């Protein structure tokens, strides 16, 4: 009986250590994501349209250069 209790306590300690490690990793990832998101502005739809139109015209120029 004492051996079973000791084994259960060992398992409990092992799993709690693993849980602490996972929580620490999660906190680190959340901090990194927060730092990445601080520098981001909200997307500007006009910039997106301009970049799409620019790439389309570049593709057209590339196609006409080949001819």
- pLDDT tens, 3-33? 999 999 999 999 999 999 999 999 999 999 9
Distance of CA 32 to the CA centre of its chain: 9
C-alpha to C-alpha distance for 26 and 52, rounded to whole angstroms: 37
Q: What are the start-end ranges of the E strands in the chain?
A: none
- pLDDT tens, 44-66? 556 555 555 555 555 556 565 55
C-alpha to C-alpha distance for 32 and 27, rounded to whole angstroms: 9
């Amino acid at each position: 009986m004492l051996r079973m209790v000791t084994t259960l306590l060992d398992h409990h300690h092992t799993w709690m250590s693993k849980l602490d490690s996972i929580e620490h990793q999660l906190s680190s990832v959340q901090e990194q994501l927060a730092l990445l998101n601080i520098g981001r502005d909200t997307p500007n739809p006009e910039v997106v349209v301009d970049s799409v139109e620019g790439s389309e015209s570049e593709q057209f120029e590339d196609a006409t250069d080949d001819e």
